[in-house]
Structure 1
Amino acid sequence: MNAHFPPLLSPSTSTPFPLTSAFPLHRISPPPLSTTANNFTSGSPSSPLCSQCTTNHPNSALSLPTATRTPPGNSLDHALLSLLRQRKTGEAWLLYAQSAHLPNPTCLSRLVAQLSYQGNPEGLSRAQSIISRLRHERLLHRLDANSLGLLAVSAAKSGHTQYANSVIKSMLRSNYLPHVKAWSAVVSRLAASGGDGPLEGIMLFNSVIKRLRRFPDPTLVRDSQPDTVAFNAVLNACANIGDVRKFLKVFDEMPEWNVVPDVLTYNVMIKLCARVDREDLLVYVLEAILIKGIELCITTFHSLIAAYVGFGDLETAEQLVQAMREGRRDICKILRDATNLEYPDDDENENDSENGLFEKLLPNLIQQSNHDPPLLQKAYAPDSRIYTTLMKGYMKAGRLTDTIRMLEAMRHQNDSNSHPDQVTYTTVISALVKAGSIEKARQVLAEMTRIGVPANLVTYNILLKGYCKQLKMDNAKELIKEMAEGSGILPDVVSYNTLIDGCILIDDSAGALAYFNEMRARGIAPSKISYTTLMKAFALSGQPKLAHKVFDEMLNDPRVKVDQVAWNMLIEGYCKLGLIEETKRVVQKMREHGFYPDVATYGSLANGIAMARKPGEALLLWNEVKERCRPKNEESCDSPSLPPLKPDEGLLDTLADICVRAAFFRKALEIVACMEENGMSPNKTKYSRIYVEMHSRMFTSKHASKARQDRRWERKRAAEAFKFWLGLPNSYYGSEWRLESGDEVNYQ
Structure 2
Amino acid sequence: MIAKPPPPPPSSSTISTLSHHHHTLNSTTSLHWVSHPQSSVKLFTSTSSTNTTTANPSRVKAATNSSTSLTTDTTTKPHRDSYDETLLNLLRQRKTEDAWLVYTQSPHLPNPTCLSRLVCQLSYQNTPSALTRAQSIIQRLRHERQLHRLDANSLGLLAVAAAKSGDTLYANSILKSMLRSGYLPHVKAWSAVVSRLAASGDDGPKEAIKLFRSVTRTIRKFPERTMVMNSRPDTAAYNAVLNACANLGWTDKFLQLFEEMPENKCEPDILTYNVMIKLCARIERKDLLVFVLERILEKEIPLCMTTLQSLVASYIGFGDLEAAENIVQAMREGRQDLCKILRDCNSDEFPNENENEVFEKLLPNMNYPTDYEPPLLPKVYPPNTRMYTTLMKGYMKAGWIQGTVGMLDAMRSQDDTASHPDHVTYTTVISALVNVGAMEKARQVLADMTEDGVQANRITYNILLKGYCQQLQLDKARDALKEMVDSGIQPDAVSYNTLIDGCILVDDSAGALAFFNEMRARGIAPTKISYTTLMKAFSVSGQPKLANDVFDEMEKDPRVKVDLVAWNMLIEGYSRLGMLDPVKEMIERMKKKGVYPDVATYGSLASCIALARKPGEALLLWNEIKERCGLITDESKVSKTGSSSSVPILKPDEGLLDTLADICVRAAFFKKALEIVAFMEELGIAPNKTKYTRIYIEMHSRMFTSKHASRARQDRRIERKRSAEAFKFWLGLPNSYYGSDIEIASSK
**TM norm. shorter chain > 0.5:** yes
Q: Distance in 2 between matches of 1:264 and 1:427?
A: 25
Q: Give yes or no for the alignment of 1:269 onto 2:293.
A: no
- 1:747 deviates by 7.9
Taking structure 1 as reference, are residues 566 and 258 closer, same or farther at Cα in structure 2, changes over 3 Å only? Answer: closer
State the match for 2:33 in structure 1.
Answer: none
Q: Which stretch shifts more, 458-467 or 593-602?
A: 593-602
Q: Give yes or no for the alignment of 1:168 onto 2:175.
A: yes
Higher helix proportion, which one?
A: 2
* 8 Å Cα contact 2:528/2:561 also seen in 1: yes
State the match for 1:60 in structure 2.
Answer: none
Q: Give yes or no for the alignment of 1:236 onto 2:243.
A: yes
Counterpart among 25, 42, 45 of residue 39 in structure 2: 42
Q: Which stretch shifts more, 452-461 or 578-587?
A: 578-587
Q: Which amino acid in the other structure matches residue 567 of structure 1? A: W
- 1:135 deviates by 1.3
Q: Give yes or no for the alignment of 1:581 onto 2:581.
A: yes
State the match for 2:601 in structure 1.
Answer: 601
Q: Distance in 2 between matches of 1:505 and 1:551?
A: 21
Q: Distance in 1 between matches of 2:618 and 2:249?
A: 42
State the match for 2:402 in structure 1.
Answer: 401
Q: Distance in 1 between matches of 2:574 and 2:100?
A: 50
- 1:560 deviates by 3.0
Q: Distance in 1 between matches of 2:437 and 2:77?
A: 64
Q: Give yes or no for the alignment of 1:737 onto 2:739.
A: yes
- 1:448 deviates by 0.8
Q: Distance in 1 between matches of 2:349 and 2:518?
A: 60
Q: Distance in 2 between matches of 1:609 and 1:632?
A: 23
- 1:332 deviates by 1.8
Q: Distance in 1 between matches of 2:164 and 2:383?
A: 30
* 8 Å Cα contact 1:116/1:123 also seen in 2: yes
State the match for 1:529 in structure 2.
Answer: 529
Q: Which amino acid in the other structure matches residue 330 of structure 1? A: D
Structure 2 unmatched ranges of 5 or more:
1-36, 52-57, 63-74
Q: Percent identity, aligned pairs only?
A: 69
- 1:441 deviates by 0.7
Counterpart among 670, 688, 703 of residue 693 in structure 2: 688
Q: Distance in 2 between matches of 1:298 and 1:652?
A: 51
State the match for 2:724 in structure 1.
Answer: 719
Counterparts of 1:533-548 in structure 2, within 5 Å, are 533-548=533-548
Give the 3-state SS of the residue equivalent to 2:229 in structure 1. helix
Taking structure 1 as reference, are residues 200 and 45 closer, same or farther at Cα in structure 2, changes over 3 Å only? Answer: farther
Deviations 1:404-431 (A, max 9, x none): 1211221122221211000000000000
Q: Which amino acid in the other structure matches residue 392 of structure 1? A: K
Taking structure 1 as reference, are residues 46 and 629 closer, same or farther at Cα in structure 2, changes over 3 Å only? Answer: farther
Taking structure 1 as reference, are residues 398 and 128 closer, same or farther at Cα in structure 2, changes over 3 Å only? Answer: same
- 1:54 deviates by 7.6
Q: Which stretch shifts more, 410-419 or 705-714?
A: 705-714
Q: Which stretch shifts more, 686-695 or 314-323?
A: 686-695
Deviations 1:69-96 (A, max 9, x none): 9973222222222211111222122211
Q: Distance in 1 between matches of 2:78 and 2:407?
A: 68
State the match for 1:466 in structure 2.
Answer: 467
Deviations 1:131-166 (A, max 9, x none): 111111222112112212222222222222222222
State the match for 1:648 in structure 2.
Answer: 653
Counterparts of 1:662-673 in structure 2, within 5 Å, are 662-673=667-678
Q: Distance in 1 between matches of 2:148 and 2:636?
A: 55
Q: Which amino acid in the other structure matches residue 222 of structure 1? A: M
Deviations 1:212-256 (A, max 9, x none): 333333223222222221222222222222222222222222222
- 1:433 deviates by 0.8
Counterpart among 193, 215, 225 of residue 186 in structure 1: 193
Deviations 1:38-60 (A, max 9, x none): xx9734168679785589xxxxx
Q: Distance in 1 between matches of 2:422 and 2:204?
A: 32
* 8 Å Cα contact 1:70/1:99 also seen in 2: no
Taking structure 1 as reference, are residues 47 and 388 closer, same or farther at Cα in structure 2, changes over 3 Å only? Answer: farther
State the match for 2:20 in structure 1.
Answer: none
- 1:637 deviates by 7.7
Taking structure 1 as reference, are residues 318 and 69 closer, same or farther at Cα in structure 2, changes over 3 Å only? Answer: farther
Taking structure 1 as reference, are residues 247 and 328 closer, same or farther at Cα in structure 2, changes over 3 Å only? Answer: same
Q: Which stretch shifts more, 322-331 or 207-216?
A: 207-216
Q: Which amino acid in the other structure matches residue 696 of structure 2? A: Y
Q: Give yes or no for the alignment of 1:610 onto 2:610.
A: yes
Taking structure 1 as reference, are residues 583 and 498 closer, same or farther at Cα in structure 2, changes over 3 Å only? Answer: same
What's the TM-score, normalizing by structure 2? 0.86
Counterpart among 66, 82, 86 of residue 79 in structure 1: 86
Q: Distance in 2 between matches of 1:504 and 1:637?
A: 42
Q: Distance in 2 between matches of 1:203 and 1:126?
A: 29
- 1:580 deviates by 2.0
Q: Which stretch shifts more, 110-119 or 578-587?
A: 578-587
Q: Which amino acid in the other structure matches residue 405 of structure 1? A: G
Q: Which amino acid in the other structure matches residue 539 of structure 1? A: S
Q: Distance in 2 between matches of 1:607 and 1:184?
A: 47
Taking structure 1 as reference, are residues 253 and 140 closer, same or farther at Cα in structure 2, changes over 3 Å only? Answer: same
- 1:458 deviates by 1.0
- 1:321 deviates by 0.7
* 8 Å Cα contact 2:507/2:541 also seen in 1: yes
State the match for 2:27 in structure 1.
Answer: none
Deviations 1:683-717 (A, max 9, x none): 22222221111111112123322222223223222
- 1:447 deviates by 0.7
State the match for 1:630 in structure 2.
Answer: 630
Q: Distance in 1 between matches of 2:350 and 2:717?
A: 73
Q: Which amino acid in the other structure matches residue 284 of structure 1? A: F
Taking structure 1 as reference, are residues 455 and 71 closer, same or farther at Cα in structure 2, changes over 3 Å only? Answer: farther
Q: Give yes or no for the alignment of 1:410 onto 2:408.
A: no
Q: Distance in 2 between matches of 1:307 and 1:353?
A: 21
Q: Give yes or no for the alignment of 1:494 onto 2:461.
A: no
* 8 Å Cα contact 1:80/1:95 also seen in 2: yes
Counterparts of 1:80-99 in structure 2, within 5 Å, are 80-99=87-106
Q: Distance in 1 between matches of 2:165 and 2:236?
A: 20
Deviations 1:302-331 (A, max 9, x none): 111111111111111111111111222222
Q: Distance in 2 between matches of 1:291 and 1:642?
A: 47
Give the 3-state SS of the residue equivalent to 1:378 in structure 2. coil
Q: Give yes or no for the alignment of 1:257 onto 2:264.
A: yes
State the match for 1:387 in structure 2.
Answer: 388
Structure 1 unmatched ranges of 5 or more:
1-39, 56-67
- 1:743 deviates by 9.8
Q: Which stretch shifts more, 557-566 or 400-409?
A: 557-566
Give the 3-state SS of the residue equivalent to 1:300 in structure 2. helix
* 8 Å Cα contact 2:159/2:193 also seen in 1: yes
Q: Which amino acid in the other structure matches residue 573 of structure 2? A: G
Q: Distance in 1 between matches of 2:745 and 2:428?
A: 69
Deviations 1:609-662 (A, max 9, x none): 222222222223223223323357674989957543222221221122122212
- 1:385 deviates by 0.9
Q: Give yes or no for the alignment of 1:728 onto 2:744.
A: no
Counterparts of 1:212-611 in structure 2, within 5 Å, are 212-340=219-347, 352=353, 354-367=355-368, 369-485=370-486, 487-611=487-611
* 8 Å Cα contact 2:40/2:139 also seen in 1: no
Aligned length: 685
CA-based RMSD of the aligned residues comes to 2.9
Q: Which stretch shifts more, 274-283 or 618-627?
A: 618-627
- 1:355 deviates by 1.9
Give the 3-state SS of the residue equivalent to 2:108 in structure 1. coil
Q: Larger relative contact order (C-alpha < 8 A, sep ≥ 6)?
A: 2
Q: Which stretch shifts more, 676-685 or 311-320?
A: 676-685
Q: Distance in 1 between matches of 2:621 and 2:662?
A: 14
Counterpart among 116, 129, 142 of residue 149 in structure 2: 142
